[in-house]
Amino acid sequence: MQIETVVTGSLDENCYILKKNETCLVIDPGDDYEKIKEQIGNCKVLGVLITHSHFDHVGALRNFLTKKSIKILKKSTLSKEEQQIGDFRFKVIDTPGHASDQVTFYFEEEGIMFDGDFLFKETIGRCDFPGGNIKQMEESLRKIITYPKETKIYPGHGEATTLANELENNMYLKEL
């Protein structure tokens, strides 16, 4: 699987495009639809995955809603943890704390997670916005640290990290 990042909008949100066999998934189309569309190229978009509904993660979503063949997955539309769209298999982990509808998409075969604003390199997402909750964040962090340490984490802003790095350097995980 090929992972491409398109940094979008005024808050430099990471939109990810996962490509496999001439198809792709788009994760968190924050803004700048034309930039995202250019990066998609000739790939057929099978689905759009939304980690949470904050404006900076869904600004270009409306451009995908008109296409009936594209699945839109967000917390309110999910009925099971394990998902498959085309050749893409992944799990959906409920990780509230930053937002009540926050989820993390875990691609176990590839050892990667896309977690929106839940966990960043050496910090966590803010919990003081409406729908945020520090107790839920702590519970979600306890859940995430049980995954393989070599798991690569792609956050909604900033650079990627690994769970091992976070366990070593993230003060919020050290306090658990």
Q: How high is the mean pLDDT of the chain?
A: 95
Separation between Cα atoms, residue 11 and residue 56, nearest integer Å = 7
Q: What is the mean pLDDT of residues 19-42?
A: 97
Residue identified by tokens 């250019």 is: 38
Residue identified by tokens 């689905």 is: 47
Residue 5 has pLDDT above 80, yes or no: yes
Q: What is the pLDDT of residue 81?
A: 87
Q: What is the mean pLDDT of residues 45-63?
A: 96
Task: List, for residues 103-162, the tens digit of each pLDDT value.
Answer: 999 999 999 999 999 999 999 999 999 999 999 999 999 999 999 999 999 999 999 999
Residue identified by tokens 């967000």 is: 74
Partners of residue 80 on adjacent β-strands: none
Q: Is 97 left (phi over 0), alpha (psi -120 to 50) or beta?
A: left
Separation between Cα atoms, residue 49 and residue 75, nearest integer Å = 9
Q: Which of 12, 105, 82 is nearest to 118 (CA)?
A: 105
Q: What is the pLDDT of residue 120?
A: 97
Binning pLDDT at 50, 70 and 90, where does residue 78 land? Answer: confident
92 with 105: CB under 8 angstroms? yes
CATH code assigned to 2-174: 3.60.15.10
